[in-house]
Amino acid sequence: MNINDYKDYYSDGSFRSKLRNMGKAAGIQVVYAALLLYFMMKDPLVPVKAKITIMAALGYFIFPADAIPDLLPLMGFSDDLGVLIFVLSRIRHHLTDETRCKAKEKLLTWFKQVDESELEELLDRIG
C-alpha cells in the first residue's frame, strides 16, 4: 500500500460526512487524530508536501474499502488509526497548540465528555 494513492479520495465534504456518519463508531482517538491532521492541513504555515501527505492519510480514512472494513466492531478503525498516527508522527513538528485546541473544540461537538488521558495517550504515541 502506498499511502499517497489515497489523496484523491479526500475532500472537505467527504471528510465531514465520514465524521458525521462514523465519528462515534470510530472513537475519540481516531476522530482526534483525523481532526489534528485536518486542522494542520488548513494551517498556512504547514508546507505543501506535508499537506499532500495529510490528504493521503485523510483519504485513507475516508476510503470505504480500506484494509479492515470500518463496519467491523472494535477492529474496523484500527488500520485508520495506525495510518493517522504514522502520518502525525512524521509531521509532528508542524503540530501547534492552536491546532490541538481547534481539534479538541471540534471533538467536543461529537463527544460531550472527553477523557483527557485518551488525548494525551494519542499525543504520546506520535512523539
Per the prediction, the chain carries an average pLDDT of: 88
Q: Which whole number is the average pLDDT over 2-25?
A: 84
Mean pLDDT of all residues in 22-36: 92
Comparing C-alpha atoms, which of 42, 36, 34, 40 is closest to residue 16? Answer: 34
Q: What is the pLDDT of residue 59?
A: 93
The Cα–Cα gap between 97 and 50 comes to 18
Question: Of residues 118 and 25, which shows the higher confidence score?
Answer: 118
Q: How far apart are CA 114 and CA 37, in angstroms?
A: 19
Q: How far apart are CA 70 and CA 62, in angstroms?
A: 10
Can you give the pLDDT at residue 76? 65
User: What pLDDT shows up at residue 108?
Assistant: 92
pLDDT in tens, 55-114: 999 999 988 665 445 444 445 688 889 999 999 999 999 999 999 999 999 999 888 889
Contacts of 106 (CB under 8 A, 6+ apart): 35, 39
**Phi, psi torsion values for 111, nearest 5 degrees:** -115, 110
At which residue does the C-alpha cell 477492529 appear?
75
